[in-house]
Amino acid sequence: MRIKWFSTIRVMGMLFVLLYHFYISFFPGGFVGVDLFFTLSGYLTTALFLDEYAKHQTIDFKGFFQRRFYRIFPPVVFTLLITTPLALLVRSDFIAGIGRQLMAALGFMTNFFEILAGGSYENQFTPHLFLHTWSLAIEVQFYLLWAFIIWGMTRFAKTIGHLRGMVFLASSFLFLISFLAMFVSSFFVTSFSTIYFATWTHIFPFFLGSILASLTGLNTLTRPFERVMASWDLKRSLSVIAGGLVVELLLLVFLTFDSIWTYLVGFLLSSLATATMIYGARVLHEKTEQIKEPAVLLFLSNISYGVYLFHWPFYIIFSQLLPHVLAVVLTLLFSIIFATLSFYLLEPYLAGRKGKLLGLEIDLNPYTKWIWATGGILTLTALGISLFAPRLGNFERESLVNNLYQAERQLISTRSAAENAQATDYNVEKGITIIGDSVSVRASEGIQSLLPNAQLDGAVSRNLSEADKLVQLYQNSHSLKENVVIALGTNTSENYQELLDELVERFPKGHRLIFVTPYDGNNASGQALAYQIGQYERQLAEKYDYIGIADWYKVAKENPHIWTNTDLVHFNLATDGATLFAQTIQSAVEKAEQQPVRTK
């Protein structure tokens, strides 16, 4: 029996994810849409296990995995085969090492692949085309783990009530362990992406759904839940659902990925709100026996999984080729088309059934040769791309070369400093030390040209938390130049004020500090962290006379041509972006040298 109104939760989860990926500046908390799916999936999986046991006193685990395989695996393969060749249309960075991405997606291990690769969920120059399959990996891992545990429980259970009790206790224990792992880890990790991707820290929404299933049931209901259904009216059911919806909408608008509160309470609140909506929807199903779900809602629910699979690679590809609005429209259009074909035609065909679309029964068996021939061609194409794709993208190669060049320059700089020392009154060597992230690395050629004697230390994915440590390291080794340029902030930190205050407080005497204001064109609103970091840096410059500003944010907005075919964080090397970045620093240093160094 299909429970009405659960479709609403599926569609809501899909919409949250789409809004997050398309308009992150307006909907920064849309990533909780995945947790809606997790909680609902945990509930349905466990409830169906319990229903089957109540009816047959056993559970057909082989049948369960067979059904899950036909529902999950074919759409994944379909997505990979369709979108991998399309990646050839955009810059080569997107197919670099793509074979490893394909293997991780097919093996449902993308979450571990991203952790081992050091991937950041939000701050990537070239996002992996199949990054989003991390959630499928955790879902499949949950199925394997939970089915094994349930199987063990059925060996000992005497009655359905006994099994429910064991499920409740096991779910509660695993939920608590996983949530505490996320809660505690959030205080110690350097990147929140690690605990976001990790199975052991992000699997707790599934077990919250399992707890709910043990308390309510799906078709075979518990007595307490039957009493609840008898006592609630339509208004109360809708009120409960609305309450959960309000919480989810607040999280959608106000939650941010890099906030520690997201990991302390955000995901928990989202999961609890989803559980509340599931509870209310199950009661509402009984209160609306004469009402059918809207056909549009049912359709969107059916294709939600396929849309989730297709939208990310389509969006990445289209956004490299087209203006944003057109990229969004085409992403939605093609995602809906391919998701519809997958759910209504391809999946039934592979399961040995006839498909049905727009009320028409469609038998694909006469076209078997064409289907398998097309699939074979696409498979060979994807395999060829994987075998001949470069191991490193252009950006990674440039970073590697620039890092080697930086090391050579630092050796030359150190030797030159020893031979031609020009100390200030504070026994500080004149010159410039630049501490930056991947944007500085990308601008290294411009910096070498305009500031040939500058000491550049740039690293990919570096954030503000490393600034003070690096300054102290250079200071202790007596290699920190008089003018210190901090070009960080693109890789945002929620506690940026604390980090900047610590840097300023511990900043050594005899030096000047120049902040390069960060720019992120994906999120350029006044609420964006990168913008707020720049604003706070300006406040510090007004407060302290030895602090200057290199306003890269302003220059970046005034020169839109440098962002063509980029991720809107790292300028196009074919433009004068590197020169503009270096000129911004050069001008700021020249202005700062008219100001005093820190004296107290």
Separation CA 83–CA 105 (nearest Å)? 13
Question: Which pLDDT score, from 0 to 100, does residue 420 have?
Answer: 47
Whether residue 393 has pLDDT greater than 70: no
Give residue 209's pLDDT band: very low, low, confident or very high (50, 70, 90): very high
pLDDT tens string 3-46: 889 999 999 999 999 999 999 888 999 999 999 999 999 999 99
Separation CA 280–CA 267 (nearest Å)? 20
Query: b or e along 426-447 (b: 16 or more beta carbons within 10 Å of the residue's beta carbon)?
Result: eebbebbbbbbbbbbbbbbebb
The alpha-helical segments, DSSP class H, found in 118-159 are: 134-154
pLDDT tens string 558-579: 999 998 767 778 888 889 999 9
Give the DSSP letter string of 317-331. Answer: HHHHHS-HHHHHHHH
Burial class of residue 230 (count of CB atoms within 10 Å of its CB; 0-12, 13-18, 19+): exposed
Separation CA 491–CA 120 (nearest Å)? 9
Nearest to 134 by CA among 116, 160, 118, 113: 113
Average pLDDT, the chain: 89
Q: Which of 248-252, 271-275, 516-520 has the lowest mean pLDDT?
A: 516-520
Question: Which pLDDT score, from 0 to 100, does residue 564 have?
Answer: 78
More confident residue, 417 or 6: 6
Length of the chain: 600
Give the DSSP letter string of 376-419. Answer: HHHHHHHHHHHHHS-SS-HHHHHHHHHHHHHHHHHHHHHHHHHH
More confident residue, 396 or 26: 26
Query: Which residue(s) pair with 486 in the sheet?
Result: 435, 515
Question: Which pLDDT score, from 0 to 100, does residue 464 have?
Answer: 87
Q: How many CA atoms lie within 13 A of 312 on its CB side?
A: 24
Hey, what are 231's tokens? 């006592």
Separation CA 429–CA 597 (nearest Å)? 13
The three-state secondary structure class of 130 is coil
CB atoms within 10 A of CB 256: 18
Hey, what are 387's tokens? 């075998």
Burial class of residue 292 (count of CB atoms within 10 Å of its CB; 0-12, 13-18, 19+): exposed
Q: Which of 142-151, 322-331, 393-402 has the lowest mean pLDDT?
A: 393-402
Phi-psi region of 191 (alpha: psi -120 to 50; beta: other; left: phi over 0): beta
Separation CA 238–CA 291 (nearest Å)? 14
Q: Cβ contacts of residue 504 below 8 Å, gap of 6+?
A: 513, 540, 544, 547
Phi-psi region of 568 (alpha: psi -120 to 50; beta: other; left: phi over 0): left
Query: Which residue(s) pair with 484 in the sheet?
Result: 433, 513
Nearest to 591 by CA among 485, 475, 473, 466: 485
